[in-house]
Structure 1
Amino acid sequence: MDTKEIKSTISNLEKTSDDVTVLKLLTILNDGVKPTEKLLRETKVGVAVNKFRAHSNSEITSLVKKMIKNWRESVQNEKNIKKKSVSSNSTEGNDKKSINSSSENPTPGSGSGSGSTAGSTESKFHKGPRDPKIDGVKTSLYENPTRNASISALYTALAIERDDSSSHILTVATEIESEVFKSQYSQVNDTYRNKLRSFTMNLRNKKNPELRDRLLTRAILPPDFIKMTPNEMAPEALKKEIEKMHKQNLFDAQGATEKRAVTDRFTCGKCKHKKVSYYQMQTRSADEPLTTFCTCENCGNRWKFS
């Protein structure tokens, strides 16, 4: 039976309530359906047949149970055959890779020199994301799960876009965590968690490869790193942008300051000195005179007049 015929039979099955007709249609499906996973999904014949599993007619329920069991076994066998096929192809591919690898990387003594095994003790590098699980690195160094999780997070952050050995990255990550732990009197508290969270976020910034590089090349040592401020850890481009904004804000602030002039024409009413600075500003309507703001340079007394 094809898909169209099966769906038509299911439609008739759902419309009838006569036991004889139901049994007849189920028998047609049992004899005509050659179950595959794709066919069962497209037609949903299994769902339709399974509705009669609890039917009052024992002959119908018995047939339904038999059909469902046989279809399940057929689909499972289909899956097993596919798995064996994939496994076989994978084995053949691995065998070819082994042969190619052996030919490209001859064993010591075959003329390639001792350097051919120099990297055998290093962990495998993976293109794309790296983390302890992918690199096969054990980060459960302490009994405290929070400390282990911190080391794992630091490792993942340090390994972004790096091809350093996993052992070296783990060493740096462990040293950073250890320094933070010691700075909190060997306690895992909120300050410890907040510091590690801040360091991890700065290291994970993909726009800040310089920070990861300086740590992994030992240009910055962990004891110095944990004392750095967020501004000091920021990418060079961001540092320049912050400096530019700071200068602009300083310029704007200076530009907003009123220019003062010093004169001896005014006398301070408090200390009677005549060294007074002043500036003028329009504080009322345009047809009113300017307001003069005075400051005594001797005692700091301030006053104004129009």
Structure 2
Amino acid sequence: MEAKEIKSTVSNLEKSSDDVTILKLLNILNDGVKPSEKLLRETKVGVAVNKYRTSSNNEISSLVKKMIRSWRDTVQAEKSKKKTVSPVNSPSKEPPKENKFHSGPRNPKIDGVSTDVYDDSTRNASITALYTALAIERGDEGKHILKVATEIEKEVFRDEYSKVNDSYRNKLRTFVMNLRNKKNPELRDRLLTRQIAAEKFVKMSPNEMAPEALKKEIEKLHKQNLFDAQGATEKRAVTDRFTCGKCKHKKVSYYQMQTRSADEPLTTFCTCENCGNRWKFS
């Protein structure tokens, strides 16, 4: 695909709202884009596609992760090849970038990055811990990860009135633990792709930082508890007008409640008296 065609497809992608169209356009990009650093910079297709990384549709999120990983590896290989054939006039202060994509752990020492930003050893140690947590399963440049880690530490330090105290240490420990969670790659990604600014991140609650899967589970439990609470307080009637979709029995208890605006129909909450299956409709 030419850059103009990619830009057109990206434009259509950003205007789409249904999963079927989004998936179709993502597959077109996946099949047609031959990634290069220049092409990705010119079209910004990587930025547009990455927005769907945390989609609630598993097929979309899985495809996006596969695309981003493939494009990143291809561009990295392109950079490495150029670096290999070009003359080396002086030793590089940063190790070859291909080393940053290994499956093992990353930290400032391995990446050749110095975290001696301040005269305070505690603050520097905090930046090191943040860097190591942010770098888990990531291929970003060390300088970029260091910048984000430094910004986060700076915001925490500022919140504690420019003091290194117990509150400062506890906050940093909490943020590092959340970032180190291997089941929460979305949080690291949102920080490193600038979807979340450091100043916003340090104000987030544990629930806001939780992995998407856990958030959905919490929401599901909340809805179930709400359903149970509503069922306990409403007077139920038993009827044979409804059929259970699970066991096909017709002995169903139900109650109705206004859950939306007054001009909308009532919501009917049903429970099968035979198997306990629950459902609702308006």
* Structure with bigger gyration radius: 1
- TM-score normalised by structure 2 residue count: 0.49
- TM-score normalised by structure 1 residue count: 0.45
Between 1 and 2, higher relative CO (CA 8 Å, sep ≥ 6) is seen in 2
